[in-house]
Amino acid sequence: MPDFCKVEREERLWVVTIARPEVMNSLHPPANAELAEVFDDFAADDDAWVAIITGEGDRAFSAGNDLKYTAQGSGELAATEMGFGGLTGRYDLWKPVIAAVNGVAMGGGFEIALACDLIVASEQAVFALPEPRVGLAALAGGMQRLPRQIGMKQAMGMLLTGRRVPASEGQELGFVNEVVPHAELMAAARRWAAEIIECAPLSVRATKQVALQSQDYASLEEACSAHYSEVRTLLHSDDLREGPRAFAEKRQPVWKGR
């Protein structure tokens, strides 16, 4: 069993909980290595279609890098090859991941959430990239992802000041999908997951890949003409035939993920 996180498998859904509440779920190298293994397993499991990541307790999703651990050791930063939470440096995971942000999401913790496909936030959630205030920089993708998700000027307002943004403002800025009462957070995240799971998994993965990788092309024509591996998989799948067949037979489709 993992030491620094908890994993619940609920049929097609995995719920991953960062479990270091005594340090506001901040991450050190062993925790990040563990989370990277968890998401390796999630990616490889054909029966796992969607994941939710959250933090243990009511105070924090993740406060980012465990600076006290860093200061006491060799100065090694927490991120591994796969980044904070095993997610910020992972660029080929086409299964959806939902961040259920239950409290403080600071620095690398916010970067984990930005690396997810959806952010569902408790009313008490707070987001920030405060690295410049401690002589660091948001090196786990925050400086790149935030401008892409909310636009340069709004992102600079957060990046250059390190200011704290409440969940309601995060929704207004566009990086939070939904804000809910704290007690309803996990129910809301599971609702989003259930709606995704109703869809054909290969269609979902192809959609995620195209939406992300098409941003690499300068023109719309190039983006639409490009070849995407998950689209190729979809076009040769049994599910591609199952969808129209179920529609014609007026029944719910039975997705196989192949």
The residue to which tokens 């908890």 are assigned:
6
pLDDT above 70 as % of the chain: 97
Q: Is 111 a catalytic residue?
A: yes
Architecture of domain 5-197: Alpha-Beta Complex (3.90)
Q: Which two tokens stand for residue 224?
A: 């639409």
Note the pLDDT of residue 68. 84
pLDDT in tens, 146-186: 999 999 999 999 999 999 999 999 999 999 999 999 999 99
Mean pLDDT calculated for residue range 226-242: 96
3-state secondary structure string, the chain?
CCCCEEEEEECCEEEEEECCHHHCCCECHHHHHHHHHHHHHHHHCCCCCEEEEEECCCCEEECCECHHHHHHCCCCCCCCCCCHHHCCCCCCCCCCEEEEECCEEECHHHHHHHHCCEEEEECCCEEECCHHHHCCCCCCCHHHHHHHHHCHHHHHHHHCCCCCEEHHHHHHHCCCCEEECHHHHHHHHHHHHHHHHCCCHHHHHHHHHHHHHHHHCCCHHHHHHCCCHHHHHHHCCCHHHHHHHHHHCCCCCCCCCC
Kindly calculate the radius of gyration of the chain based on its CA atoms and give it in whole angstroms.
19
Going by pLDDT thresholds of 50, 70 and 90, the confidence category of residue 75 is low
CATH second-level architecture of 201-248?
A: Orthogonal Bundle (1.10)
- Our answer to whether residue 131 is catalytic in this structure is yes
- Catalytic pick among 131, 172, 198, 221: 131
> Model's pTM, two decimal places?
0.95
The predicted structure's pLDDT at residue 76: 59
Place of tokens 């999401």: 105
Catalytic residue among 22, 111, 184, 195: 111
Which residues are within 8 A (CB) of 105 and not within 5 positions of it... i.e. 6 or more apart?
60, 61, 62, 99, 112, 113, 125, 126, 127, 128
Delimiting residues of CATH 1.10.12 domain(s) in the chain: 201-248
